[in-house]
Homo-oligomer: A and B are copies of this chain.
Amino acid sequence: MTSTTEKGRALSEELNPGMEATLEARYGHLVPGMAEGIVDFAYGRQYARPGLPLRDRYIATIAALTAQGGQTAPQLKVNIAGGRKAGLTREEIGEVIWQMALYGGFPAAINGLNAALEVFAAEDAEDEE
C-alpha cells in the first residue's frame, strides 16, 4: 500500500515538478522536515484524495484564496496556473473569482482578477516562445 507521502510525492512532482526539492533547499535548514510535511499533508492527504477531482479542488482553493484577500497573492497565482492545467478555462476561473465579491468583498475579487490576468499573460508569453 502506497503511503500518503509516496502518493503526495508523485502528485506534487506531476503538478509542481521540483517543488519538494525547492522547499527543502529554501527552508529545510530552518525547519527540518517541513517540505516532506507539505508533500504528505497538502498533496498526499488532500490533493491526491479520490473523493473530489483536481479541477474541483482548484475551484475551491482559488475561491478561498481570493476571498481571504491579496495577502496570499503568490499562492493564488500558483493555484490559478494549477487550475488551468487541471482543465479550468480562463472564463471559469474568472467566474469563480468574481463570485467572491459576494464573500470577500469587491476589492478582494478585483485583486483576484488581477492575479488571474497576470497568470494568463504569462501563458500567452509562453505560447509565443
Establish whether residues A68 and B65, one from each chain, have CB atoms under 8 Å apart when the complex forms.
no
Q: How large is the interface on A (under 10, 10 to 19, 20 to 34, 35 or more residues)?
A: 35 or more
Interface secondary structure of A, over-half rule: helix
| Residues A107 and B99 in contact in the complex (CB < 8 Å), given A41-B37, A51-B94 | no
Establish whether residues A102 and B46, one from each chain, have CB atoms under 8 Å apart when the complex forms.
yes
A37 to B60, CA, bound (A): 20
A101 proximity list for chain B (CB < 8 A):
46
Given A63-B63, A68-B68; 10 other pairs, CB 8 A cutoff: A31-B95, A46-B98, A47-B99, A52-B96, A64-B66, A68-B104, A70-B71, A72-B105, A75-B107, A105-B105
